[in-house]
Amino acid sequence: MTAKEALLKEIETAPEPLLREVLAFLKLLEARDMPPGLQTALASEPLLAREWSKPEEDAAWKDL
C-alpha cells in the first residue's frame, strides 16, 4: 500500500476536526519550499477571503 492509499483509507474514518488539522499541516509542509512572498500570500488568503465576502465590503466596492 502506498502512502497515498494509506492516507485515503485513514481519511475515510477520521473526524472532521482532525481532517482540518491534517489539511493545515499538509499545507504548511507544502509551503516550506515556496518563496517567502508566496508563503505570505497563501497564508493571508483565508483571512482576506472572509473579510472580502462580507456584504458591507460588496457595498463599499460596488461603484468601482
User: What 3 state SS string does 17-55 have?
Assistant: HHHHHHHHHHHHHHHCCCCHHHHHHHHHHHHHHHHHCCH
2-41 pLDDT tens trace: 999 999 999 999 999 999 999 888 888 887 887 777 777 7
The predicted pLDDT at position 12 comes to 96
Confidence bin at 54 (pLDDT 50/70/90) = confident
pTM for the model: 0.51
| Structural domain boundaries in the chain | 1-33, 35-64
The predicted pLDDT at position 22 comes to 92
